[in-house]
Amino acid sequence: MPLLGAHESVAGGLHLAFDHIRDVGGAALQIFTRNQRQWKPKPVSEEEQKLFAAAWHEDPSMPVASHASYLVNLASGKEELAEKSITAFTDELQRCALLNIPLVVIHPGSHGGDGVAEGLARFTKNLDQALERADNQVIVLLETTAGQGTGLGSRFEELACIIANSKYPEKLGVCVDTCHIFAAGYDIRSQESYQATMAEFDKLVGIERIKFFHLNDSKKGLGSRVDRHEHIGQGEIGLEGFRNLLNDPRFANHPMTLETPKGKDLQEDRDNLAALRGLLAHSISS
């Protein structure tokens, strides 16, 4: 059974994210290790490390991933922004190592109008620099994107290009976001279209590269290239698309986290997780 969970807040302390994920009955967790709108956040303290480790020890089998700051753009053609991005992502990798978080998700960035090929080359070179500076074992997951504007990563070929040209392919995996691939034009709504999408990914990138999923329905239609998350089953993908993914035996043990809208009481997470588990239960019982 896939490990279903959610991205949870770290407001008040990194360790509190474990309380939130337990509160909603999740089995996988994604967090920001620091405010994603700050270039130079405080280092992780020894106290934070201890509290985080103790909270994780209550559910030691819980998979945890970090999501890199949205400020980071390793594909930028602006030298200052590129250097700030390398430094910030190096810091992220080092924070993850201190917290024993094995996975960090990152968007492949934006080429800013210079073209896909140029953007991919810059992203790969700058990613390699960050990996060299951090010099640890944290695995970087390239997130599939919707293809808005000059964003990279909406085509499987682009992810394959980054992995093929990196000096450290063994440190790279992929996080598949359902809303993003759908908005990018990859249909998963029918069993036939789902299998075709996964076959294309396997051919171009390799299915074994997928280490993590973001489960989000899409407010916008297939190929819209617009990134707008919706609650499970209430968007353009619909329940059947998620049924196809959840019951794919290749991903039976993969962590899959929600990034859907929610309020302070987290009821939306409970409802979305219940909707997802209902698809699994229905499939199994049938």
Alpha-carbon distance 210 to 230, whole Å? 22
Residue 220, token pair as written in the block: 């916008």
Residue 163, token pair as written in the block: 């992995």
Residue 137, token pair as written in the block: 């074992």
Please provide the DSSP assignment of 68-86 as one string.
Answer: --TT--TT-SSHHHHHHHH
Q: Which residues are catalytic?
A: 37, 67, 70, 107, 143, 177, 180, 214, 227, 229, 259
Q: Do residues 96 and 139 make contact, with C-beta atoms less than 8 angstroms apart?
A: no
**Cα 282 from chain centroid (whole Å):** 27
Alpha-carbon distance 286 to 281, whole Å? 8
